Amino acid sequence: MTGPGPQAPTGAPNPADDQKKESTRVTVLITGTRLYGEGDPVDVLIDGEVIAEIAPAGTLGRDEPGREVIEAAGTVLLPGLVDIHTHLREPGREDTETIDSGSAAAARGGYTAVFAMANTDPVADNAVVTDHVWHRGQEVGLVDVHPVGAVTKGLKGAELAEMGVMASSAGRVKVFSDDGHCVDDPLIMKRAMEYAKGLGVLIAQHAEEPRLTVGAVAHDGPNAARLGLAGWPRVAEESIVVRDALLARDIGTRVHICHASTAGTVELLRWAKSQGIDVTAEVTPHHLMLDDSRLETYDGVFRVNPPLREASDAVALRQALAEGIVDCVATDHAPHADQEKSCEFALARPGMLGLETAVSVIAETMVSSGLLDWRGVAKVMSERPAEIVGLADQGRPLEVGEPANLAVIDPDATWTVAGPELASVSDNTPFEGLELPGRVRATLLRGRPTSVDGEVRHR
């Protein structure tokens, strides 16, 4: 009996496979869009994972075999959005969100990369958990899910987590944060920054001096006093911001401030940057748009940490984002179960959904007001966050040969937010019932449409 004929070595290219790939190759054509909302409409051809051609609208073939056409007349094309602060709840609270549902929300919101915070159960303070988050994100495949590692074990602020192991494991952790808790011990924070400097990673600080916020649930101002709610003073945030800026100055490393919320923080950031201190900061959509007047109804959906501040703080934050004092937008997407929000305000869990509404809120607060144009939106929602966390393939220019991580946005569309219609498991949106401008028409991750007209496309 004769044996089988010669076999190709394991892993060697198979010509038949190449022919099969060629015959099934799919290209995507985005028609009639405007790059960054500027200039004349163009057609954008994506071949494989990159932008292959950009030409005047109507000049690229629409009827090529295997070509998907995304009709995009009147839209704005941006690099795929990057969210460096989100909560996907997996592992441990899959009843409120999963990596699958959170990735779907991200895709519908125009995101191609998100960073999942470490306050899961178990806490992401070791490589087993961070690698799980990374691998689950890859399996789902709708958005690049980057795990954030905890700074301290169990988020307890007492002992540093194994940062080096997490940074070198499969998940390649780039950002470490105890978000939800402040690393309030200055010696622990100093050591964390020193390790981060050596590893080339980023510490993202939840700036809150806990001794000033015991029992606090609302901004410490006239509204909280009138409503009988325990007040959270601005200084609780600002004192940590300045402390960590000074630590970063002396160590010669960088630090990132999560969810900046006060006008005082803006001035401290302005000062730190003027001194050459390597500090960056993010602001959430809800802190740009909402203020503590929303607490009149005692609705737990408006409880968030840090709390909604006064209208003057929101004005200062919007101006700081436009000036670059605050570097980027991050959603702090935080799903919660109904029973965790439909209760006494002081007992409600802090946090709000944000992934699907972020573009619209930025369109309302920053674009409609003239503070940013769409190129500016690309900077604060894609380019700058990708730079801060070191993602070489995200936030790239819209040019031939660049990765096709893209968001197609209809700036003229309006929609009414309805929590149950969002992709998240939870529906705790603070924008319920609001009509907002701007809608994401399509999102592409490395050339593959992950969401088109609200339809999420799994692999």
pTM equals 0.94
What does the pLDDT read at residue 235?
Answer: 98
Calpha distance 78→405 (Å, rounded):
9
Domain boundaries, the chain: 81-395
Q: Are 304 and 294 in contact (CB under 8 A)?
A: no
Q: How is residue 305 written in tokens?
A: 């940490």
Select from 210, 193, 194 the least CA-distant residue to 255.
Answer: 193
Per-residue pLDDT, 157: 98
Instruction: Flag residues of the chain having pLDDT under 70.
Output: 1-25
Among this protein's residues, is 17 annotated catalytic? no
Question: What single-letter amino acid sits at 309?
Answer: R
Instruction: Report cis status (omega within 30 of 0) of the bond before 79.
Output: no
**Residue 370 · residue 123 · CB < 8 Å:** no
Could you give the CA distance from residue 287 to residue 350 in angstroms, rounded to a whole number? 14
Encode 357-420 in three state secondary structure.
CHHHHHHHHHHCCCCCCHHHHHHHHHHHHHHHHCCCCCCCCCCCCCECCEEEEEEEEEEECCHH
**Tokens at residue 164, please?**
């080096």
Report how far apart the first and last C-alpha atoms of the chain are (Å, whole number). 43
User: Which pLDDT does position 61 carry in this prediction?
Assistant: 87
Matching residue, tokens 């070595």:
9
Q: 320: which residues sit within 8 A by CB, 6+ positions away?
A: 260, 266, 269, 270, 283, 326
213-231 pLDDT, tens digit per residue, is: 999 999 999 999 999 999 9
Tokens, residue 348: 């409600």
Query: Is 254 within 8 Å of 280 (Cβ atoms)?
Result: yes
CATH class label, 81-395: alpha beta
Residue 254 DSSP symbol: -
* pLDDT at 14 (0 to 100): 55
- CA nearest neighbour of 84 among 255, 329, 294: 329
DSSP string, 314-336: HHHHHHHHHHTSS-EE---B---
Summarised one tens digit per residue, pLDDT across range 247-288 is: 999 999 999 999 999 999 999 999 999 999 999 999 999 999
- C-alpha to C-alpha distance for 58 and 72, rounded to whole angstroms: 12
Active-site residue (options: 43, 83, 178, 332): 332
Q: What is the pLDDT of residue 25?
A: 65
Residue identified by tokens 């339809």 is 455
